[in-house]
Amino acid sequence: MRILGLESSCDETAAALVEDGTRVLSDIISSQAKVHERFGGVVPELASRHHIVNIMSVLESALDSAGVSLDALDAVAVTRGPGLVGALLVAVQVGKAIAFARDLPLIGVHHLEGHLSAIYLNASSPGAVPGTPHVALLVSGGHTSLIYVKQRGEYLELGATRDDAAGEAFDKVAKLLGLGYPGGAVIDRLAKTGDARALRLPRPMPGKAELNFSFSGIKTWMRNWVSENGVPTGQALADACASFQHAVVLSLVSKTREAVKRAGVTDVQISGGVAANSYLREEMRRAGEEDGFRVFVPPPRYCTDNAAMIAAAGYHRLLKGERSNLDLNAMANLPLASSS
């Protein structure tokens, strides 16, 4: 089954063709990061406008690079939420138009289920993906949570952030350090040559019983540090990045370890934009070796927003016989549990 995936929930306009929920035939992403950079965050109205301008050429590129026309499609999957409602609407409308014009099945996809499905893209063998049940650490710019994946499509939230998402904390601290937007990947790169013990940041919510996260304390500590010491440069900048990243990753890994113990599972997946973080991947693998769980992480390209993951999630729901109607609407807020 060849599915067209469409995604426009935040600042990436994306279209992809995926066969049987795993084989990626094409995967086009047009990022608006440059548009929003000078504002230090995504401006919703600008995001909607740029999606409108870009979506047709992104769609054409996805078809061209797969070497097919709309005739070759078997279904359309589109992100219906959560996200910026005006942004979401663009891909939802295009998806509905194609489904209507070509009389194709349509499926609305939960953005986070998309992130959780990225692990199945181009998976070489059944052993390359986590078994069920497993624990998923979902860390993106808008969300941070620990999820018990009972089976594909059945989720239970074990914990979530009480304030900022992990990616949001990376982006805000990157802004403080003058590193531009979005700054997660820049901090990751600079931290490689830094000393993680240089600054002694607080450990957020260290209580073992607690599976929730909090990153605003770390962010405020960094803000105070910068206002006392000025914006660091050179080695001091690398040290600040490494120390901040260490504090965030320590919290993500220790809560995941606790969730794995409680859930009694042997497999963990990390998904969402922050899953591209090299230190998080390393530290989670190390924890897995110590505690005896396996760690699965999509390649960095599929960690951040893309449409291939939306097609993969849509495929699974279509197989179960689910369909969306042409009155499908974009939802700014949408709990994962009600994602069908």
> Do 15 and 61 form a contact (C-beta atoms < 8 A)?
yes
**Which of Zn ion, ligand KG4, none binds 170 (CB below 5-8 Å, type-dependent)?**
ligand KG4
**Which of ligand KG4, Zn ion, none binds 274 (CB below 5-8 Å, type-dependent)?**
ligand KG4
CA 96 to chain centroid: 24
Q: Does 184 bind ligand KG4 (CB under 6 A)?
A: yes
Q: Cα–Cα distance between 195 and 208 in angstroms, integer? A: 27
**95 or 141, CB closer to ligand KG4?**
141
Q: Strands across the sheet with 12-19, in order?
A: 23-31, 12-19, 2-7, 75-81, 106-110
Torsion region of 205: left, alpha or beta (phi above 0 gives left; psi -120 to 50 gives alpha) = left
Alpha-carbon distances, residue 27 vs 59, 64, 128, 168, 337 (angstroms): 10, 11, 21, 25, 27
**144 or 324, CB closer to ligand KG4?**
144
**243 or 306, CB closer to Zn ion?**
306
Q: Shortest approach of ligand KG4 to residue 140 CB, angstroms?
A: 3
| DSSP-derived secondary structure for 60-100 | HHHHHHHT--GGG-SEEEEEEESS-HHHHHHHHHHHHHHHH
Report the site for ligand KG4 in 244-273 (rule: CB under 6 A).
272-273
**Which of Zn ion, ligand KG4, none binds 184 (CB below 5-8 Å, type-dependent)?**
ligand KG4
**Which of ligand KG4, Zn ion, none binds 271 (CB below 5-8 Å, type-dependent)?**
none
Contacts with ligand KG4, 287-306, as mask; x by CB under 6 A: -----------------xx-
**Which of Zn ion, ligand KG4, none binds 304 (CB below 5-8 Å, type-dependent)?**
ligand KG4
**94 or 276, CB closer to Zn ion?**
276
Query: Could you say which DSSP state residue 295 is in?
Result: E
**1 or 332, CB closer to ligand KG4?**
332
Q: Shortest approach of Zn ion to residue 40 CB, angstroms?
A: 19
Q: Which two tokens stand for residue 243?
A: 């120390």
Q: Does 8 bind ligand KG4 (CB under 6 A)?
A: no
Number of residues forming the site for ligand KG4 (CB under 6 A)? 19
State the amino acid at position 278 in one-letter form. S
Report the residue from 171, 258, 267, 283 that binds ligand KG4 according to the rule CB under 6 A: 171
Q: Does 179 bind ligand KG4 (CB under 6 A)?
A: no
CA 91 to chain centroid: 18
**159 or 167, CB closer to ligand KG4?**
167
CA 147 to chain centroid: 14
Report the site for ligand KG4 in 110-169 (rule: CB under 6 A).
140-142, 167
**143 or 152, CB closer to Zn ion?**
143
Q: Shortest approach of Zn ion to residue 111 CB, angstroms?
A: 6
**113 or 305, CB closer to Zn ion?**
305
Torsion region of 117: left, alpha or beta (phi above 0 gives left; psi -120 to 50 gives alpha) = alpha
**Which of Zn ion, ligand KG4, none binds 182 (CB below 5-8 Å, type-dependent)?**
ligand KG4
Find, among 47, 170, 157, 75, the residue nearest to 112 by Cα.
157
Report the site for Zn ion in 274-333 (rule: CB under 5 A).
305
Helix (H, G, I), strand (E, B) or coil at 12: strand
Query: Could you say which DSSP state residue 5 is in?
Result: E
Question: How many angstroms separate the most distant Cα atoms in the chain?
Answer: 62
Which residues are near Zn ion by CB under 5 A?
A: 140, 305
Which residues are near ligand KG4 by CB under 6 A?
A: 10, 140-142, 167, 170-171, 182-185, 188, 272-274, 276-277, 304-305
